[in-house]
Amino acid sequence: MKNKLSKLFSLAAVALLLSGCLNNLEGQNETVELGPDEVVVQTTANQLSNEYYRSVILDNRYQLSASASADTSLNSSGNSFAFEEGLLRISQDIFPTDQYYMQEGQLIDGDTLTNWVSRESETNPEGLNPALPVTSTQEETTTEESVDPADDPEGIDETAEVTEESNQVIVDLDSSPIYLSQIMEKNIMVETDEGFALGGIVIGLAMNSVYQYTDAEGVVYEQEISLGEMRERGKAYANIIVGRLRNTEQLRSVPIVVGIFQQAPSNTTVGGNYVLDGISREGNYVTDWTERNEYRVSLPVINNTEAGDQYLFFDTFRQDIINFFPHLNGISGEALYIDNGLATLDIEIITQFYSQTEITALTQHVTDVAQRTLPEGIGLEIKIQSAAGTEAFVGRQPGESQISSHVFRQ
């Protein structure tokens, strides 16, 4: 593989990626003036490991996702991490990192994404979430909706019902959950004789497992969304999004991979997981849907008799570290299981020690105990934290046997 790839391309060859924000995916093709006739396209010189794609860089600048600044968010940092991490794993199954490169999504712009994850309405016919059912005693009424912004990604207040003289509008929130919380896009690039071309699009759909809303009296309600209903809604949204993308001629035959992510409730300490993924090689539908069997566990597991000895490795590790440094503030972890097997393990150790010798001694002991007690072959990350920040790191790449460690100077 070349250490550095740097080439010149005409705008015609890369116009889709450089000016590809789809303000109107239903048929309008706009030409954006970019200035020079040519741009420099290159990749990062280093690939950290085969877990990661090398990035495509335009004009010596990393291209941020057009949808990253959209007014949408997941309900926890754990979900945000799991949403992207899982989507990259899905992508790697279809587009290997030794053959493809990655660019942040440039095709769906921020306004379009916000419209898609909002409710369908007269002013937003592109909304994927269901419209609010409204009944009225008269034909002409006006409504003003207001909701806690944290409960509605549109920023629309759904709780309010309204009144104009004797008119009444009734909004049935319980029957109209917000299913789709966020959309993530990644562009997969392939090197050709002429330079780089769009080789695939990867789309993640974050679906709610719990819908929370507040009524006019300020009472908060939670409605669970069944896995079956969430899956069917997700598959339907995937087909709609693929159809909209296919309306752009240059995307008619580009493979589009879609993953359906089940967002964990906000009161859980770990993120959610992907339940389905599929691919549309051409046409307006996603086919070849694949069930995904993965879940995340917060460690230590308290009073879980059904688990048996499944998490004994963590309890053994944790107790050994506590016996060595009894005044630690806490040891917790998160385990990712794929197809019922442990895939990755992330551990956080909180210490009140600050001296270099104490941190060094703790790091050395953690390395010894991890090598002895934790399962072999899994991806491992152990962070030793204090009030001042990260003090040390102990880790291992998936498939490797040797654990490495590093103590930060400051």
What are the pLDDT digits (tens) for 157-210? 444 444 344 444 445 566 689 999 999 999 999 988 878 899 999 999 999 999
3-state SS string for 380-391: EEEEEEECCEEE
Give the amino acid at 408: F
pLDDT classification of 59: cutoffs 50, 70, 90? confident
Rounded average pLDDT over 88-106: 94
Residue 408: Cβ within 10 Å count: 14
pLDDT, position 348: 97
User: Is pLDDT at 4 greater than 70 in this prediction?
Assistant: no
Distances (CA, A) of 297 to 145, 218, 229, 263, 335: 38, 33, 24, 14, 5
Q: Tell me what the pLDDT averaged over the chain comes to.
A: 81
pLDDT, position 325: 87
User: Is pLDDT at 62 greater than 90 in this prediction?
Assistant: no
pLDDT, position 49: 80
The closest of 194, 177, 76, 97 to 133, measured between CA atoms, is 177
State how far the Cα of 116 lies from the Cα of 153, in Å rounded to an integer.
11
pLDDT classification of 6: cutoffs 50, 70, 90? very low
Complete DSSP assignment for 38-84: EEEEEE-S----TTSPEEEEETTB----TTTTSS---SSHHHHHHHH
pLDDT classification of 66: cutoffs 50, 70, 90? low
pLDDT, position 388: 87
pLDDT, position 50: 81
State how far the Cα of 108 lies from the Cα of 183, in Å rounded to an integer.
10
pLDDT, position 162: 43
Rounded average pLDDT over 119-131: 95
pLDDT, position 69: 53
pLDDT, position 42: 76
pLDDT classification of 304: cutoffs 50, 70, 90? low
Rg (CA), the chain: 25
The single residue listed with the structure tokens 């319980």 is: 174
User: Is pLDDT at 365 greater than 60 in this prediction?
Assistant: yes
Instruction: Cis check for the bond before 300: say yes or no (omega within 30 of 0).
Output: yes
- Going by DSSP bridges, is the β-strand pair 54-58/101-104 parallel, antiparallel, or unpaired? parallel
Domains of the chain: 62-114+178-292 (3.10.570.10), 297-407 (3.30.300.190)
Residues 182 and 153 sit within 8 Å (Cβ to Cβ): yes
State how far the Cα of 345 lies from the Cα of 363, in Å rounded to an integer.
17
pLDDT, position 51: 84
pLDDT classification of 146: cutoffs 50, 70, 90? very low
User: Is pLDDT at 374 greater than 90 in this prediction?
Assistant: yes
pLDDT, position 182: 94
Q: At 195, give phi and psi (nearest 5°).
A: 140, -120
User: Is pLDDT at 150 greater than 90 in this prediction?
Assistant: no
State how far the Cα of 376 lies from the Cα of 399, in Å rounded to an integer.
8
Rounded average pLDDT over 224-247: 97
User: Is pLDDT at 38 greater than 60 in this prediction?
Assistant: no
Task: Please give the model's pTM, rounded to 2 decimal places.
Answer: 0.81
State how far the Cα of 360 lies from the Cα of 355, in Å rounded to an integer.
9
Share of residues in the chain with pLDDT > 90 (%): 57
pLDDT, position 174: 62
